[in-house]
Structure 1
Amino acid sequence: MTQNEDEAQPDVDYLRERVRHLEQASQWHHYAMDVLTSMTAIFGDHSQSRDVAAILESTHECVGRLLPLEDAGYYTVDDESSFHLSFRQAGCEGPELEAIVEQLIDEGMFSWALNQNHPVCLPCPGNDDKEGARDDHLVLHVISSRTRIRGMFVGRTRGHPIHPRDPGMKVLSIVLFNAAYALESAALYTLMDHQHKTLKKISERQSLELAHQYSHDALTGLPNRVLFSDRLHQLIQKGPTGDEDDSSHVAVILMDLDHFKRVNDSLGHGYGDHLIKNLADNLRTILADTELLGHHHLDEGHVTLSRLGGDEFGIILDRVDSLDLLARFAQHLLDNVSCEYVIHGHPVFLTCSAGISIHPFDGRDVDTLIKNADAAMYEAKQRGRNHYHFYTQDINAQTYRHLMLENELSRALDRDEFQLHYQPQISLATGKVEGLEALVRWEHPEKGYLNPGHFIPVAEDTGLIEQLGLWVVRRACADMNRLETTGLPVPRMAINLSPRQFRQADLAAQYAAIISDAGIQASQIELELTESTIMQDIDKAVEIFGDMQQLGFRLAVDDFGTGYSSLNQLKHFPIHTLKIDRSFIRGIPQDRDDAAIVKAIVAMAKGLGLEVVAEGVEARHQLDFLKGLDCESVQGFYFSRPLPYDELCEYLQASESVKATTASSQG
């Protein structure tokens, strides 16, 4: 071979290698195009409901032609962002791949791969533990459209790792991108198909459903007040004709949950709805117990259960022949529905109260029977709740008195019949009056002074407490200004908040506006809320206390020790003062338990940097015990009862005179 031929040989070899490479590339491109062309199978037939498994099977047929897979799985994501294995390569049904994916999830590699815009190749976990598996690798690639992640491809290969830029990996991205859109299309098509079927059903059954909605409760499916009243009317018409000696009667039982509003206010209406549904199911079960009904001479066919609205249920019992057995049955109902209900993980213990009226003794028409059963239920609540009560004529008089009190209370504000009395809070270190607690009194035009316990619960139930609370703040601010003009000291003013006031959305803004108009500093006002009210909804309490603190108000927990709060809960509240409940002060120092509780509260408050006020101090030995604990302040009859404004001025003047005399004698 000549020298020129020797020199030309490398060029020929290079060209041959280049031609071979181009031929292979061309063959691969043709193959890839063939794979991509076959992707049309992924989208299937749009005229039929789409099937996720069919889409993934078609996808795998394409992917299997691109990569040498030992095993492969396709995970899809649900609406709660949980991944589920939806398709597995044929012949690979073992748990190994799923275990590997669980390990990747625990290590965070699964989440990392989801966020990559390209395929990733990783050593297979456990390679070092399995003989012959050192060359196993995993290929992971997100199945995602441009708007949403639809799943994840996980494939296991054997041999050298596949580079993300490998042509097969690039085509893999295209295939899985199209699979994501196919899954998205299937979901949309399924949704549209479901909507179409739903609309068709609504159209076909509209009349029937409207009739059912008119007569049944949407939440529980029970008959509503309309059907309840109609059923009762029919039984009255065909029942006893008016002979009160007839041994068979119709009984109406109305029952509702005690303090149900607390559940709605603390946990939310969604939790309240679940509780109502659980109670309805419980009542259904009891009233379907044929053995129980037979024991009380009742029959399932003669029982009607309804939800009348809110937390109120109505029961009609036809052919009642024994009032004694009826009473036992009512007690059995209360015993079985008054229990702990677990709503979304929250244990809620609730009791029920019931009222009973009998036809024809307690009414000869529907409205009268329902009204009297309702009055009897109210009487049961007034007597302590978790009880039943039969209607009597005397109940009407009590209900009337309650209604009259509501009406008089609503007019009392307009007539300026309320007054504020102030009880001094005394510093044990200085003997000075360092605070006043504003206590509302009602000067009834006929009954004289009424204590808060007589009318505050009524005001709370009717919502009048919100107007009354604003009046208290305005009057307290006005009296603080009057004290300042007379030259008397203006101590800090403590004002109570009721549970209903505490739930007002604009409470902080309203109080801030009032004190601003009065020219009072927020730091001069201390707002008190009972511990039990705070514990009903801790998160809400922390939020409202935070709003009040930002405005500058001082905050106190009243009746501390009675609400079962823990130190861990207490530390979250931006409070300044703890008020020890008078029930613990009454027994000190003789009662060892009360003494221990008071000591613990004072020590805890000091550890948290809080002031302590002991309420209800009436005797010298109580005062001496509290001084020994280094309690900051006390209030109670030992120093003064709650005083109207004029007597308060005299008290403060006397206190100033005593201090002045003491100071001059010491000088």
Structure 2
Amino acid sequence: MSIRRQLALYLGCLMVVILSGNLWLNIHNFKLHFEEQLQSRADETATTFALSLSHSAQTKDDATLKSMVDVIFDRGHFSLVKFESTQNGAIIERAATEPTDVPMWFQRWMKLQPGFAQTEVLDGWQQFGQLSLVVHNKTSYEELWQLVKAECAWFLLMTLLVVYSMRLLLNWLLQPLKQIEHLAEKLSLNQFVHIHDTPKSKEVYSLVQAMNHLSDRLQASFLAHGQTVQKLQYDAYHDNLTQVLNTKGWDQYLYDWMQHEQFAPGWIALLHLENLMLLNDQHGKAMLDELLSQLALQLKTDSALSHEHVGIARTSGGDFWLFSPDPLDSQFKNRIEAIHDSLKRLSLVQQYNAKFYFVAMPVHEPQEPASLKHQLDLLLQRSKAEQKSLLIGATESHPLTNWVEWQQRLNAALEDEAIQLFAQPLFDDTHNVIQKEVHCRLIEEGEEPLMAGYFWPMVDKLNLSQAFDRLVIRHWLRVFEQDESNPDKFTGKWVLNISGKSLNDPSFRQWFSEKLKPKQLQSLIIECSEYTLAHVTVKTQMWLHEMVGLGMRLSVDHVGTSGKSFGFLASFPIYQGKIERRYIRNIDQQKDSAFFVSGMIQVFQTQGALCFAEGVEQQAEIDVLTQLGIDGLMGFALGTPTPLDVPSASVMAHQIDQD
């Protein structure tokens, strides 16, 4: 039993005892009062009546005496009126008992003493008789019965008021204890909150302060643990000198990128520093490290690269690998040449005559990572043989490599709304579908819809991201409106990916705020990559807080890929996070990945956010993630994307206003 209930029980019993004692005392006083009234009436009446009877008793007028006794008795106040003459022994008596509606148990309980008076009838010093009166207590019982009922009703009313008031008072006084209990439950779930209401009691106030301090200390400890996990994971997959991917990180990046659902066209390159040993011998390791760092920095900041998705790695010595998503239009070679030229112009390259070879080739379709590496090695050998510092492999024929053709095709898709939405389910730890992530695919006439990985890089290059994001949202609104009329509708959350360019555009934010209704916002989760959140504007950040206040939720995916400390995520109203699939793949065999994922789960749960895993493809991965305490899972091992039935724009024109 809780302290509040125990106190309520004890205090309630105490108040009932006190009120019961007060009730008994009042009833006892009522009884004494009525008995005094009865006795007083008897005494007064006997004295007065005896004086009235003295003359008739002296003349021995029995008829008058009897008449006077009858008059007194017929008033109904007396149960006995008796006159006994001392001269002739005559007795005049009237006696009767009148019924009453008062219960017999009450009469037996109260036992009112009737008023009894006996006096002598005198004339001077001469005695004529004796008068006896007994006051009838019928009226007193009835009045006392009514008073006792009223007193009991008042007692019950006061008992209820006192008990209820005591309950409210205890709830108010002991509210901090309930908050402390709630705080302890949150701490057990690694959710660190504060008790903001200041208790009035000194002891409870000290306890609340101690619990708040404990919450702060545990939160700091878990955040420090998360930062340590992040650093260890970062070190495991990144080169210490250049802070780009190392061999292990590059292998995982390339493997994940070449997956069918993840793939986007682009070009892959290898930068090989030829005279590495000579430079080291001539100028020392410090200069060589500075040169390698300068090369890596140039690759990480070159404007010709899409840095949100680009992969850069240093695998050994002076070898740098690069994969850049690219529409592979007629100008992609010029972009590669621009990168090569910017590397040649580096100060240390020119100062120390560093010699390097830069080879690249386009990648139109997913290929085995080992095959890509082998082809680049062959290109490198050819580049050395031909003494060319830049060599680009032959471009394979592909139907969608022309810039103008892409622009025409994407504009036509926007005009015709030629997209199709797919939904991939996300499951909680009990295998229930709690969310559906919406994927956009481009409709191909006579072919399967083209996945976003193939056409979105060109959407980004042509600055059409905002237009496509609006189109996707309009299509989703149609799905949502259609689903509302379905009795078996999906009741979970919908997840939509929004590009950083759209979020940073004020006109898009205004359109979004006006377009979506509160009910739609409450069913929606906007998802952005960790890289996107790291580069949003302050106004975008404020807008996200505003939208979350209206019911929308914010999700961050590709966690662990931006290279930034997780601390920056604390400034966003994060509802959930998704760990990048590269850390999920073969997690049952990768202890460092399991350690990283465990740390991320704790970091998100510490902030009161959910933590999900994406890209789950094996049952062994599911088992490990479940043991680590993951909140949800998504991947082909659980469910593949399925098309959403979207009614045509003409059918829905009267329901959805066109942009």
Higher relative contact order (CA 8 A, sep 6+): 2
Flag whether TM exceeds 0.5 (same fold): no
- Work out which of the two has the higher radius of gyration on C-alpha atoms and give 1 or 2: 2
